[in-house]
Amino acid sequence: MTSKFNKKKDNKKAFPNNNRLNYLIVAVFFIFVCIVYQLYSIQIINHDKYVAKASLQHNIYSELKSQRGEIYLRQNNSDFYPLATNKEYVAMYINPRALYEEEILALLQHVFDVFHRSSVEKEVDNLLAKQEQEDFDNELEYINSLDLSEDEKNIKREELISRHNSLESNEEWQEFKKTKRELEIKEREQNIINDYFEKVNVRDKYSRLVKRKIEKEELINFYFSVLREKFSLNSPEDLFIKNGKVLLVSDGRDVSLEIEGFSYTWETFRYYPDKETMSILTGFSNMENVGNYGLEGFFNSELSGEDGFLLGDKGSYQGRRIIIDKKEYKAPVNGNNIVLTIDYGVQMSVCQKLKEAQLKHQFNSGSVIIMDPKTGKIIAMCSWPGYDPNNYQEVEDSSIFDDPNISRQYEPGSVFKTITMAAAIDQGKISPDTFYNDLGQLNIKGWPKPIKNSDFSIHGGHGWVNMNYVLENSLNTGAIFAASQIGPQVFAEYLEKFGFNDKTGIELSGEISGNFRNLLSDKVKDIDFATASFGQGVAVTPLQMISAYSAIANKGVLMKPYIVDEILDENNQLIKKTEPQIVRRVISEQTAETVSAMLVNVVENGHAKKSKIDGYYIGGKTGTAQIPSPRGGYLEGQYVHNFLGYGPIEDPKFVMLVKFDSPKTSVYAEGTVVPVFGEIIDFLLKYYQIPKSR
């Protein structure tokens, strides 16, 4: 009985042992299946992937960067002057795993001292000066608001001025000002260092970028700042760079310097020697060496070239990795070089004149374009304001990147009267001797107030005058009369022939066309037709405007403007030469000669006398136009001043546009753009040694 019971008990104990064995067998089988599947995956499914991974253990792949092509001007007819070239810069890194936080902060303090302190101090000084001026202006405004007699106000104003001037010698005030300055600088310093620290202090990283595009001189200054005490350095001149390393001469030999937890690499980026002067024209290349705006944007593919690569077997020698066999190699192809039509001497002189004019007339923006009317070649193209394309990322308003000569429309004003006269004369409807009775103003059907001449309040009507007189005295009513002889449809056709409805096709990024859609509808409003005749209510670009005048100067033939003379390969061997291209005949040769003679009369007897040059016949026309408001209508008291002209009139060598937006010193173009035109054209005649003809 007992043994039977025990036997059953033993059998029950055996079952759990058998279950464990079964579980083990299943587990082993599952592991075996997984191993088989993994082998199948490696050898069959993902064979190529693992072959590639294995090859990386034995192969080395290196990308070979191409060099971006350069942009040149010609200097002295043969030498190249670089507008855009390539330059080596430094990228700085900190290894946060190699440094304590205090050591990182110490390095970042040097970063601030070398790269930011000067600009921060300048920023704070400007801020404090602005605050002082605002405080003074507020006190002055308060005095002016007091209910006092003018004599009493004058006394208080003098007291204010005296108190303000005495602050310079007030020690207590100067100490307060010094303390305030230091606090402002310290606050900015702390913010900048904290921003760097937040970016750099990532403890699981071996290398964190601190700053890029650093000049060689700046790298030396940084090393001097960090290592000055350690090596008893006297000045940054004690250090130099050789083979990409910062060195110090010690005991007659070159010693390579190192900063713990700090490293740097060399990178090649675009460099623009003339900075603001040529920025609108060149555009810029970004940190990825991609061109944006201007020539850089338009010719990005030609300038970029094509990167190469090297794939080879790698080994090691004395602990260094080396290439022992080259498998695949593709050489980088450097970008093509571009040579512009612009004359270096003329461009520098014109841009300097434009800067001087801005200081004198305080305009918001300005342009000068000079073109060869026979070919369409751009001799000079300058704009103000500009920016530094080496530091394009510091620009606050990206609209400054746009070239106003091709990317912005404006209403040209009275310079458009020349186009109106050319169309009407070409149709045989008027001549320079055609008379009409000028009443000084004209009522237009459907418009509530009369259109007036600009001098109506002073002169009134001019009476019976001819078209020569109209252009000389810039009479709006005369332009309306001339346009009315051909009608809106024919007038619009001439505007299209002159090119105002099309892009010129110049080799610059961002070009737009003009806009005179109000003259292309089935039923043109009388007021739109009337104002268009004297350049209001139609919009053009400066390049379109100078191209139209060039057609008149070129005996009625419109040429395509171009700014690139040649495209060269990396060895400066010619790939392509730009040839002048005729667009179309716009007006007859006789009409062109007639209009040119009328423009000479404007310079000799009209509003453009300040552009007259002794010994030469110069033709030109002024324009003063209201600036449209974004909300409709026109801005109060703001005008565009522009002048277009060419010479010598018997054989024009150049056509020029000078344009200022909202100058502050004069209401009319006669007092701003015309004198500048005269100075530049006098320079051109002497520069090109053109003999006098009168």
Do 381 and 243 lie in one domain? The reply is no
Residues 6+ apart with CB under 8 A from 506: 378, 406, 543, 560, 561, 562, 563
| Average pLDDT of the segment spanning 460-471 | 96
The backbone region for 211, taken as left when phi is positive above 0, alpha when psi lies in -120 to 50, beta otherwise, is beta
The backbone region for 292, taken as left when phi is positive above 0, alpha when psi lies in -120 to 50, beta otherwise, is beta
Predicted confidence at residue 62, as pLDDT, reads 67
Q: Is the peptide bond before 648 cis (omega within 30 degrees of 0)?
A: yes
> Please, where are the H alpha helices in 146-239?
150-166, 171-200, 216-227
The more confident residue out of 42 and 347 is: 347
Q: Indicate the pLDDT class of residue 315, thresholds 50, 70 and 90.
A: low
Residue 587, exposed/middle/buried by CB under 10 A (0-12, 13-18, 19+)? buried
Give dist(CA 271, CA 287) in Å, integer: 12
Q: In the chain, how many domains are there?
A: 3
The CATH number that applies at residue 662 is 3.40.710.10
Give dist(CA 450, CA 465) in Å, integer: 20
Full-prediction pTM beyond 0.85? no
Predicted confidence at residue 43, as pLDDT, reads 67
pLDDT tens track for 408-449: 999 999 999 999 999 999 999 999 999 999 999 999 998 999
The more confident residue out of 171 and 561 is: 561
pLDDT tens track for 625-663: 989 888 888 888 899 999 999 999 999 999 999 999 999
Predicted confidence at residue 48, as pLDDT, reads 56
Instruction: State yes or no: pLDDT of 476 exceeds 90.
Output: yes
Do 535 and 471 lie in one domain? The reply is yes
Do 41 and 92 lie in one domain? The reply is no
Q: Which domain holds residue 404?
A: 342-687
Predicted confidence at residue 16, as pLDDT, reads 52
Domain presence at residue 554: yes
Do 538 and 429 lie in one domain? The reply is yes
Predicted confidence at residue 453, as pLDDT, reads 93
558 bridge partner residues = 584
Predicted confidence at residue 12, as pLDDT, reads 47
CA end-to-end span of the chain:
150
| Average pLDDT of the segment spanning 397-403 | 93
Residue 364, exposed/middle/buried by CB under 10 A (0-12, 13-18, 19+)? middle
Residues 6+ apart with CB under 8 A from 489: 524
Do 582 and 662 lie in one domain? The reply is yes
Predicted confidence at residue 386, as pLDDT, reads 94
| Average pLDDT of the segment spanning 374-403 | 94
Nearest Cα residue to 92 out of 193, 191, 222: 222
Instruction: State yes or no: pLDDT of 601 exceeds 70.
Output: yes
The more confident residue out of 554 and 610 is: 554
Token pair belonging to 568: 């060269």
Q: Indicate the pLDDT class of residue 369, thresholds 50, 70 and 90.
A: very high
Do 479 and 591 lie in one domain? The reply is yes
Do 34 and 110 lie in one domain? The reply is no
Residue 3, exposed/middle/buried by CB under 10 A (0-12, 13-18, 19+)? exposed
The residue behind tokens 């330059």 is 87
Domain presence at residue 311: no
Identity of residue 570: E
Predicted confidence at residue 324, as pLDDT, reads 47
What integer best gives the mean pLDDT of the chain? 89
Domain presence at residue 505: yes
Q: Indicate the pLDDT class of residue 493, thresholds 50, 70 and 90.
A: very high
Q: Indicate the pLDDT class of residue 396, thresholds 50, 70 and 90.
A: confident
pLDDT tens track for 38-80: 776 666 766 655 554 555 455 565 677 788 999 999 877 668 8
Do 258 and 125 lie in one domain? The reply is yes
Sequential DSSP letters for 54-106? HHHHHEEEEEEPPPPPPEEEEETTTEEEEEEEEEEEEEEEE-GGGS-HHHHHH
| Average pLDDT of the segment spanning 369-380 | 97
Do 117 and 31 lie in one domain? The reply is no
Predicted confidence at residue 305, as pLDDT, reads 84
Instruction: State yes or no: pLDDT of 115 exceeds 80.
Output: yes
| Average pLDDT of the segment spanning 582-605 | 96
Using the 3D structure, point to which of 232, 263, 294 is the last residue of a domain.
263
Domain presence at residue 297: no
Query: Maximum Cα–Cα distance for the chain, whole Å?
Result: 151
